[in-house]
Structure 1
Amino acid sequence: MLSTRVGIIFVCLALSACGLSVQQSVDGAPQKNHLAGQWQLTELAGQPVQTEKAPYLDFSEEGKVSGFAGCNRFFGQVEVEGLSIHFGKLGATMMACPNMQLESQFMQMLERADNYTMGSNDSLSLNKARMAPLARFERVKAD
């Protein structure tokens, strides 16, 4: 029994050291990450996004994020605790595209975001402090 508790404490400390947060429900079981899945960008800086292939975020259950920023793909860590969100240093491919403005704005938004809100209709807003949303997303339904 004691070795099981020590093992659990060790795993929790190891996860904390890696920057991952484990949320637990009332009964002590890990909670499912409610952000997990793919979210397509619909609005950036108050303007609707109308492009052939819109940027998206893909959150994993393990505290990772990846996605498409408009030209390049990116990947990295994300910390979510309560309604706070922080995107760690993100790596990306280095392709050049004719118009990099949307991608630049999208990546800057990820750096600035510090909290999020979710709507009842599978919508997600990334925010900075109490300002207007930096970006809005819609959950991509699995086929």
Structure 2
Amino acid sequence: MTASIRIALAVLLAAGLAACASKAPPAAGPAPAAVAPAPAAPAATPRVPPDAQVLGPWRIEQARSAPLADRRSARLDFRADGTIVGQASCNDFSGRYTLAADKLSIGRLATTRKACSEALMEQEDRVLTALERAARATVPPHGFLTLHDADGAVLMRASRFEPASDAAK
């Protein structure tokens, strides 16, 4: 290597080292803000058990403010496992529901597709529509299951269904 190249390399190396060594420490200023701890996870909402009086089989007496003309086959059963099954007058139905205290939510219902008389089909429509709109389920002292919409209007009333005693009728 020639002397001039060696001198040039030495100058570059010295300049690089001088640049690294001359960095001033950070200026004194306010301390960085402390990092706030992550917010605590929200407390789990306590599970509200369903009103046990609502569970079980019921005979539908009234749907959407009118009594049923033929109550013999209009039934519903709120099962403890979260399923609802029944007969809407002509066709069978089944689905899922949640009930926390008196707050009711019924999921989409599957129904059979039998054709019946026009009167039974109209009655069935009232039953299924009442179930779709139900937001509360109560059993007041009179003993009737009462389903209400979100505004508190009564959608359905049903009496306790005892299969053994009903078979004799």
TM over 0.5, yes or no?
Answer: yes
**Structure-1 residue corresponding to 2:41:** none
Kept in 2, the 8 Å contact 1:38–1:59? The answer is yes
1:76 aligns with 2:95: yes
**Structure-2 residue corresponding to 1:101:** 122
C-alpha deviation, 1:117, in angstroms: 1.7
C-alpha deviation, 1:129, in angstroms: 2.3
**Structure-1 residue corresponding to 2:155:** 134
Structure 2: gaps (5+ residues): 1-46, 165-169
CA deviations on 1:38-74 (whole Å, 9 max, x unpaired) are 1111112222223152411111110100000010000
**Structure-2 residue corresponding to 1:4:** none
Aligned residue pairs total 116
Pick aligned residue for 1:119 from 140, 162, 167: 140
Kept in 1, the 8 Å contact 2:145–2:157? The answer is yes
Separation in 1, partners of 2:75, 2:137 = 15
More strand by share: 1
Which aligned segments of 4 or more residues in structure 1 are displaced greater than 6 angstroms?
none
Separation in 2, partners of 1:32, 1:42 = 20
C-alpha spacing 1:33/1:97, structure 2 compared with 1 (3 Å): same
C-alpha spacing 1:142/1:52, structure 2 compared with 1 (3 Å): closer
Give the secondary structure class of the aligned counterpart of 1:137: strand
Among the aligned pairs, what percent are the same residue?
28
**One-letter amino acid of the counterpart of residue 126, structure 2:** Q
Report the TM-score when normalising by structure 2.
0.62
**One-letter amino acid of the counterpart of residue 74, structure 2:** P
CA deviations on 1:84-134 (whole Å, 9 max, x unpaired) are 101111111111112210111111111111112212243110001243311
**Structure-2 residue corresponding to 1:38:** 57
Q: Decide which structure has the larger Cα Rg and report it.
A: 2
C-alpha spacing 1:91/1:97, structure 2 compared with 1 (3 Å): same
Alpha-carbon RMSD across the aligned residues, in angstroms, is 2.0
Structure 1: gaps (5+ residues): 1-21, 25-30
C-alpha deviation, 1:32, in angstroms: 8.4
C-alpha spacing 1:53/1:141, structure 2 compared with 1 (3 Å): closer
